[in-house]
Amino acid sequence: MKRLLSLFVWIGLAVSVFPPVTARAQQAARPVHVGLGVSAGTVGVGGELAVQFGRQLALRGGYSFFPVDHYTFSFTLPESYGGDGTPSQIDARLSMNHAYFLSDFYVFPNSNFRLSAGLWAGRPDFLTIQNLTPLPEAFNSIGIDVDGYSVHAKDGDITIGMKVNGFKPYLGFGFGRMRDDRRVGVSCDLGVLGTFGQGLRAMGYGLFDEKEVQLTSAVADGKDKGLLDLVGGLKIYPVIRVNLFFKIL
């Protein structure tokens, strides 16, 4: 993970710092455009303010969120697990609210192609899964053993969560720019966020203490078919966005 973080930092510096410095002299005497935009994509919907300096540098800042950030589903526990035929409800909540800042460098002055680097800031609680219907009494004492700690329900409730970095570096590329002859335009972004997920975690109860432990496919004896490792191993998050922007200056 340290190598991946270092790669993000060094490439981010190269994209967002060094090229703009070399082009600063050419851009100083050129006009500045300012625009407002709305976007939609894998990071939700949002709005941003963009400032374009000359032909090769633009800075953007904004906020994005998921309008629907949770999903509730039902399942029926078998009688062998204490079920009585009544459906139980589970709620999965995804936290994708972010403020962000991006630096865009247009490789060629007359091209729409750009390289982008920046930083997204949001809550570290990326994913939270919890029951809405109290679990049967048996779940308060029987659970999964993880390194000597038992993961089970407490008073009929259990919560599983995954934390990520609150500050997420971004690297990507895109197409589109504000033009002198147009008030409205469309652009797109493709890239990745460095989330550096810490795995799915739950509270484990020992003989004398309790602590958060990591849930893996190994502790579930493979009964999850690798789902715990797949979800909990999230280190990067794909970003695909389409932006509609309006030039105001």
Digit-coded pLDDT (tens) for 36-84: 999 999 999 999 999 999 889 999 999 999 988 888 888 777 776 667 7
The count of structural domains within the chain is 1
In-domain check, residue 229: no
Bridge partner residues of 201 (DSSP) = 161, 214
In-domain check, residue 58: yes
Per the prediction, the chain carries an average pLDDT of: 84
In-domain check, residue 15: yes
Most confident of 71-80, 130-139, 214-223, 236-245: 236-245
**Cα 203–Cα 209–Cα 212 angle in degrees, nearest 5:** 25
Q: Assign 142 a pLDDT band (cuts: 50, 70, 90).
A: confident
Look at the alpha carbons of 47, 4, 200, 159 in this order and tell me if their dihedral is positive or negative. Answer: negative
pLDDT at position 30 is 57
In-domain check, residue 102: yes
pLDDT in tens, 156-191: 899 999 989 999 999 999 999 988 888 999 999 999
211, 149 Cβ separation under 8 angstroms: yes
In-domain check, residue 7: yes
In-domain check, residue 231: no
Q: What percent of the chain has pLDDT over 70?
A: 86
In-domain check, residue 129: no
In-domain check, residue 200: no
pLDDT in tens, 198-225: 888 999 998 888 898 988 888 877 777 7
- The answer, yes or no, to whether residue 241 has pLDDT greater than 90, is yes
Range 24-43 average pLDDT: 75
**Cα–Cα distance, 4 to 156 (Å, whole number):** 40
**Cα–Cα distance, 106 to 128 (Å, whole number):** 39
197, 162 Cβ separation under 8 angstroms: yes
Q: Is 148 left (phi over 0), alpha (psi -120 to 50) or beta?
A: left
> pLDDT: is 182 or 4 the higher one?
182
197, 216 Cβ separation under 8 angstroms: no
Domain membership of residue 39 as a residue range: 1-66+97-122+168-191+238-249
pLDDT at position 15 is 45
